[in-house]
Structure 1
């Protein structure tokens, strides 16, 4: 016999199950996807090491050619490297995701459209600046200035994991 309580429980479960299934669905992005159409990524030559006696790296950030809104509000997965902004002994809760190792730390930052500000409620135990990760979460445009660089995108991370192809 179906009781009112079991019917309500089934309805509640049916509302939650589709959301749980969607949590594993995401759009795989690459850094070139964040550039405006017909724009080119930063040449490898500009990714070289620099003299740290020069002005701050943030002053050497190239201008951004714009951002893309194609994935605004979508759940995406983007690989990159962690540059911590807010961290404690529990882990990193805010960081800039950069497209190559050393960006913003040993070389000038890439344009804002090649930087993503990531926040997470669950601190991530980062293994260091050169750790490659995959970040999955809600993606969007976010014009932001940090002490490291201007940033063009934001990602609210649901999952951060070591990089895997």
Structure 2
């Protein structure tokens, strides 16, 4: 093989490596489901929704089941997860802090799920909610962080880079 061919091959390979390792490379996004937030070996359980919820009884937050722990391997990773919005803080007409929940009505109409099934989301750009019953998909940096609100204990936080309507 001639030197000119090996140089061209090396140069092309070097250029490809630089492109793949440089800032232009897209971040790897990990697609998560709610089961992915549960510790290994913990079965997922649908919420126990039976009968009429007595809103004048104990606050829903006190009816929250105990969490079986969180998973730390997603710390600092960019993830994407679908869910429903429970607004906590607004800016103008958009929400900037909310709890992402796995099913409609969690924390509002029914007791909250365990902390490892709740994500506290913050966003710099307010998200305009058209309907609390429509799912969203949130992309951003996930971390484990125990947070207490008046609605529930929360096991994860996510700094949103993107919030979009979700079409399953």
Q: State which of 97, 105, 108 in structure 1 corresponds to 2:108.
A: 105
Structure 1 equivalent of residue 151 of structure 2 = 148
Give the Cα separation in 2 of the matches to 1:66 and 1:75: 21
Structure 2 equivalent of residue 137 of structure 1 = 140
1:20-59 aligned at under 5 Å gives the runs: 20-23=24-27, 25-46=28-49, 50-59=53-62
The number of aligned residues is: 150
Q: State which of 90, 93, 96 in structure 1 corresponds to 2:96.
A: 93
How far the C-alpha of 1:44 sits from its partner, in A, is 4.2
Structure 1 equivalent of residue 161 of structure 2 = 158
Is structure 2 residue 122 aligned with structure 1 residue 119? yes
Q: TM-score, normalised by structure 1?
A: 0.84
Which has the higher Rg, Structure 1 or Structure 2? 2
SS at match of 1:110: coil
Give the Cα separation in 2 of the matches to 1:48 and 1:20: 53
Deviation per CA, 1:106-125: give whole Å up to 9, x if none: 10000000000000000000
Q: TM-score, normalised by structure 2?
A: 0.82
Give the Cα separation in 2 of the matches to 1:150 and 1:19: 37
How far the C-alpha of 1:70 sits from its partner, in A, is 1.3
Give the Cα separation in 2 of the matches to 1:100 and 1:55: 21
Structure 1 residues 47 and 64: alpha-carbon distance in aligned structure 2, compared to 1, 3 A threshold? farther
Gaps of 5+ in 2: 1-17
Give the Cα separation in 2 of the matches to 1:160 and 1:30: 16
Gaps of 5+ in 1: 1-13
Give the Cα separation in 1 of the matches to 2:128 and 2:69: 32
